[in-house]
């Protein structure tokens, strides 16, 4: 390579770097309203029966109430204060434009799982890396893997499944452990991924090259791991049942 070609390449590289930096730092980034998920739980998902949960924010009460048992004015049956979609702690610690909905799902075989959907706001802190949250709450992650769920009419969906040892304090004050799981995936209008890092990568690319941030949703399912391992099959059946109900185009 002669000297002038080398200089030209150096200049070109500098221009590209400067342009990338300028786009990344100065362009106004627009938050779009497009969403890849419908923020409402179905009453039924395949053979699963759903029950949306609501939360009392009275610090003395903190009752969790099934929506079907909630009075018409949406007040807490225990203390009379208003009920909300997210718990008091979630509302306190997450950015104000984050929305969370939760529903319990039960199947005829007796599996009883909790599903939550977090809709991110403008702030990246709306959705944390799930592993960090679990460990920060005192739980232990003993295994991590990807589960491929067959969904009729589309490509299989990959979700992350963490084997978790949940730690909680029993009423008598002693520390108890329960074998559980936490499964999750992330959805934007254009992408689906079981990986938090991949999600961060898509967000950065959209921000730099499209000057926009689409809404991301974090869908998680948790429950107990029964000793006969039928929970894995049950988890796949719940995800397969929920997926078409939560997808706007279906
Ligand atoms: Zn209450």
Q: What is the pLDDT of residues 91-131, one digit of tens each?
A: 888 888 889 999 999 999 999 999 999 998 876 667 777 88
- pLDDT at residue 165, as a whole number: 94
Q: Could you tell me if residue 13 is left (phi over 0), alpha (psi between -120 and 50 degrees) or otherwise beta?
A: alpha
Residue entry with tokens 């959209």:
206
> What is the 63 CA–ligand 1 centroid distance (Å)?
5
CA 95 to ligand 1 centroid distance, Å: 23
What pLDDT shows up at residue 3? Answer: 67
Model confidence at 250, in pLDDT bands (50, 70, 90)?
very low
CA distance 16 to 10: 10
How much distance in Å is there from the Cα of 58 to the middle of ligand 1? 6
Continuous H helices in the chain:
3-26, 88-93, 130-136, 196-210, 230-246
Most confident of 25-34, 127-136, 147-156, 195-204: 147-156
Q: How far does the centroid of ligand 1 lie from the alpha carbon of residue 39, in Å?
A: 25
CA of 72 to the centre of ligand 1 (A): 15
Q: How far is the CA of 117 from the centre of ligand 1 (A)?
A: 23
């Amino acid at each position: 390579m002669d000297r002038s070609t080398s200089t030209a390449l150096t200049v070109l590289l500098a221009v590209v770097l400067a342009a990338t930096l300028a786009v990344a730092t100065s362009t106004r980034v627009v938050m779009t309203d497009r969403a890849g998920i419908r923020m409402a739980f179905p009453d039924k998902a395949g053979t699963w029966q759903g029950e949306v949960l609501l939360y009392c924010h009275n610090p003395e009460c903190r009752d969790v109430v099934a929506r079907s048992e909630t009075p018409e004015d949406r007040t807490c049956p225990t203390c009379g204060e208003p009920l909300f979609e997210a718990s008091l702690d979630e509302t306190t610690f997450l950015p104000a434009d984050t929305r969370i909905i939760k529903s319990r799902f039960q199947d005829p075989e007796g599996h009883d799982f909790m599903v939550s959907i977090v809709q991110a706001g403008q702030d990246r802190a709306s959705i944390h890396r799930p592993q960090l949250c679990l460990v920060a709450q005192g739980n232990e992650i003993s295994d991590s893997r990807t589960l491929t769920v067959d969904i009729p009419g589309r490509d299989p969906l990959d979700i992350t499944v963490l084997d978790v040892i949940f730690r909680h304090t029993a009423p008598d004050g002693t520390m108890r452990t329960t074998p559980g799981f936490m499964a999750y995936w992330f959805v934007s209008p254009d992408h689906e991924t079981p990986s938090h890092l991949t999600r961060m990568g898509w967000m950065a690319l959209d921000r730099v090259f499209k000057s926009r941030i689409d809404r991301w949703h974090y869908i998680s399912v948790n429950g107990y791991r029964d000793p006969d391992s039928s929970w894995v099959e049950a988890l796949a059946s719940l995800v397969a049942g929920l997926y078409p109900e939560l997808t706007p185009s279906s």
